[in-house]
Chain A
Amino acid sequence: MDQWTFQPASDLDESVTRRLGSVRREPGLFGWAVHALTASAAAGYMRLYHRLTVRGSEHLPDDPPAIIVANHTSHLDAAAITAALPRCLRREAFSLAADDYFFRTTFRSACAAIAINALPMRRGKAVRQALADLRRRMENGHCLLIVFPEGTRSRTGTLAEFKCGVGMLVAGLSVPIVPAWIDGAHRALPPGKRCPRPAKLEVRFGPTLDFAETPNKRDGWQHVADRCFDAVHQLSDAVN
């Protein structure tokens, strides 16, 4: 008979408040149920208010782990991608959010963690450690990560260069990378606006990329960033 293996929660050694702002956070039954509710509500809002359409769903894996890389022009982006996912993946989706904004206080951390299932992305000197923690998390499975490799929202709606961080996250990992293009979010809620307009949204997923053989060093990181950029850019050209 095989030896049983146990996999304790990866954030078991962290206090309740620290857990909220931890990359290793694994939601329990309550957190999962709240996220399932908010994700379903977001999906309903996206379909009714923004008439969200989805193309290329066949490229999505059946189960986590996976990483979705997408363009970033609006605060609606993470919700749009989450809403575009099949229900079984939607519940497991985490999006990366700026640590210095979404996780500044315990209250904000609780909202970001429980309601939108965000994981903190540290900037500056802490970025390498944060990416290493995320890599470990992806290696252990149980996670579908939504990443915006431009690092910030595009002010013009055009695709900006991808940062090498995405390469540091995925180079050498045998996790499928799904490129995605979100169309219309910049018209609906561009940076600086507070109230979304009922603009039509479309999310297009492309064929998966694999960087399992890519070396986890500077050249490899740049290669990953360039390939992801090209894949996402191609999806934008699908209509334009």
Chain B
Amino acid sequence: MTDRDVARLFDPRVLLGEPTTLWLLGGAVALLAIAPLAFLIAPKSLQPELWQRWRTWLVIAAVTLGPIALGAAATILSVAVLGLLCYREFARATGLFRNRLTSATVALAIGLTFFAAIDNYYAFFVALFPLSVGAIALAGVLPDRPDGFIQRTALATLAYGLFGSGLAHLAFFANNYDYRALLIWLLVATELNDIFAFTAGKVIGGRKFVPRTSPNKTLGGAVGAVVLTSATAMPLAMWVFAGTVAGQWYHALVLAVMISVLGQCGDLLLSSVKRDLGLKDLGTLLPGHGGLLDRCDSLVLVAPAVFHYIGYLHGIGGDETQRLFSAGLF
């Protein structure tokens, strides 16, 4: 492991040499600080809920931005914990957690995928998807209970795809030396997109988009979110990726539209899961928001899509040491 690897993984002082990251962090903190001003114009009946949501946002910001600032190891570890907690929530909501062998296999597959991420071992990272699906299917066979085999295997595969392989793309970004600005941009843009969709939906309204899946979503909200997110995330992307191919205005626009559209699709995807289960929230971990998945649903599709787009343009983790930990094993 080179000094550069150690610095990327463990040294938070690298942050001080990244003015873009410092500005982004400052902006995110400032946004959180001034958010309560908006509560002044909200109806009084909504205020207790808004304050509760805001307090939860402070915790979310601390546990997401904190590890990103600390280093790549903390970042990857925290996304791994997020993936496992999201899986736990999904498994408890669907009842998959009662199939312990299948559940343990998914948890192991998620752990291995994040190991591949911290190892910067992309070939293994890619190979783990088919290998994990095979292992999950086998775990469904071993208890010798063919009843419900398809259901538990399909649920487990979906869960691994979304919260293991999908979210691990977020962690793999940390294999770039200058990952901090990129990740903060991605997270801020995704969360802003949620807020824009909610606000535009309330202000513009219009025809119900998918009333049976998510009764509050309107076409006005969806289009408004795309416009507002593009207007915000695109210039930010041009600044964050300045000097690289992704910094071109058209690539920045594609990335911003991608975040908005896929963010809303992820939201709808988890809404469909909730409607099918007949549940309002998938958990209780985040007061005012519901479960962890109610907050992270937008990320599950955005992370792999943005990863592969940026990866196509200029690669991710290619300049850093590959197989950091596994190279010495054999």
**Which residues of A does B touch, CB under 8 Å?**
4, 6-9, 12-16, 26, 28-29, 32, 142
Say yes or no: B91 contacts A7, CB within 8 Å: no
Docked Cα-Cα span, A26 to B97, in Å, equals 10
Docked Cα-Cα span, A8 to B100, in Å, equals 15
Docked Cα-Cα span, A16 to B88, in Å, equals 13
Identify 23 residue pairs between A and B in the complex whose beta-carbon atoms are under 8 Å apart, listed by A's number: A4-B151, A7-B95, A8-B92, A8-B93, A8-B94, A8-B95, A8-B277, A9-B93, A9-B95, A9-B97, A12-B279, A12-B283, A13-B284, A26-B92, A26-B97, A26-B98, A28-B91, A28-B92, A29-B91, A29-B97, A29-B104, A29-B107, A32-B100
The closest CB in chain B to the CB of A11 belongs to B92
Docked Cα-Cα span, A115 to B151, in Å, equals 31
Docked Cα-Cα span, A239 to B114, in Å, equals 58
Check B276 for interface membership: any CB of A closer than 8 A.
yes
Chain A residues contacting B283 (CB-CB under 8 Å) are 12
Chain A residues contacting B95 (CB-CB under 8 Å) are 6-9
Chain B residues contacting A13 (CB-CB under 8 Å) are 284
Chain B residues contacting A16 (CB-CB under 8 Å) are 284-285
Chain A residues contacting B97 (CB-CB under 8 Å) are 9, 26, 28-29
Say yes or no: A9 contacts B92, CB within 8 Å: yes
Chain B residues contacting A26 (CB-CB under 8 Å) are 92, 97-98
Check B21 for interface membership: any CB of A closer than 8 A.
no
Chain A residues contacting B279 (CB-CB under 8 Å) are 8, 12
Docked Cα-Cα span, A13 to B291, in Å, equals 10
A2 to chain B, nearest CB (A): 10
Docked Cα-Cα span, A171 to B178, in Å, equals 66
Docked Cα-Cα span, A15 to B286, in Å, equals 9
Check B230 for interface membership: any CB of A closer than 8 A.
no
B26 to chain A, nearest CB (A): 33
Check B260 for interface membership: any CB of A closer than 8 A.
no
Say yes or no: A29 contacts B103, CB within 8 Å: yes
The closest CB in chain A to the CB of B94 belongs to A6
Closest 7 CB pairs of A and B: A7-B95, A9-B92, A15-B284, A8-B93, A29-B103, A28-B97, A6-B94
Docked Cα-Cα span, A6 to B107, in Å, equals 20
| Most interface-central of B100, B107, B151, B276 (chain A CB within 10 A) | B100
Interface residues in B, total, Cβ within 8 A = 19
13 A-B pairs besides A8-B95, A12-B284 with CB distance below 8 A are A4-B151, A6-B94, A6-B276, A7-B95, A8-B93, A8-B94, A26-B97, A26-B98, A28-B88, A28-B91, A28-B103, A29-B100, A29-B104
Please classify the interface of chain B as helix (H, G, I), strand (E, B), loop, or mixed, using the class held by over half of its residues. Answer: helix
Docked Cα-Cα span, A8 to B97, in Å, equals 9
**Which residues of B does A touch, CB under 8 Å?**
88, 91-95, 97-98, 100, 103-104, 107, 151, 276-277, 279, 283-285
Docked Cα-Cα span, A9 to B284, in Å, equals 13
Chain B residues contacting A29 (CB-CB under 8 Å) are 88, 91, 97, 100, 103-104, 107
Chain A residues contacting B93 (CB-CB under 8 Å) are 6, 8-9, 12
Chain B residues contacting A142 (CB-CB under 8 Å) are 98
The closest CB in chain A to the CB of B151 belongs to A4
Say yes or no: A6 contacts B277, CB within 8 Å: yes
The closest CB in chain B to the CB of A91 belongs to B100
Docked Cα-Cα span, A13 to B107, in Å, equals 23
Chain B residues contacting A15 (CB-CB under 8 Å) are 284
B105 to chain A, nearest CB (A): 11
Chain A residues contacting B98 (CB-CB under 8 Å) are 7, 26, 142
Docked Cα-Cα span, A15 to B95, in Å, equals 17
Docked Cα-Cα span, A202 to B93, in Å, equals 41
B324 to chain A, nearest CB (A): 28
Docked Cα-Cα span, A29 to B110, in Å, equals 14
B119 to chain A, nearest CB (A): 24
Chain A residues contacting B107 (CB-CB under 8 Å) are 29
B267 to chain A, nearest CB (A): 20
Docked Cα-Cα span, A62 to B100, in Å, equals 18
Chain A residues contacting B284 (CB-CB under 8 Å) are 12-16
The closest CB in chain A to the CB of B284 belongs to A15
The closest CB in chain A to the CB of B106 belongs to A29
Docked Cα-Cα span, A143 to B93, in Å, equals 18
The closest CB in chain A to the CB of B283 belongs to A12
A88 to chain B, nearest CB (A): 11
Docked Cα-Cα span, A142 to B279, in Å, equals 21
Docked Cα-Cα span, A12 to B91, in Å, equals 11
Chain A residues contacting B277 (CB-CB under 8 Å) are 6, 8
Docked Cα-Cα span, A158 to B283, in Å, equals 47
The closest CB in chain B to the CB of A18 belongs to B284
Docked Cα-Cα span, A29 to B106, in Å, equals 11
Docked Cα-Cα span, A3 to B103, in Å, equals 23
The closest CB in chain A to the CB of B285 belongs to A16
| Most interface-central of A12, A14, A142 (chain B CB within 10 A) | A12
Chain B residues contacting A12 (CB-CB under 8 Å) are 92-93, 279, 283-284
Docked Cα-Cα span, A26 to B93, in Å, equals 12
Chain A residues contacting B92 (CB-CB under 8 Å) are 8-9, 12, 26, 28
Docked Cα-Cα span, A32 to B101, in Å, equals 12
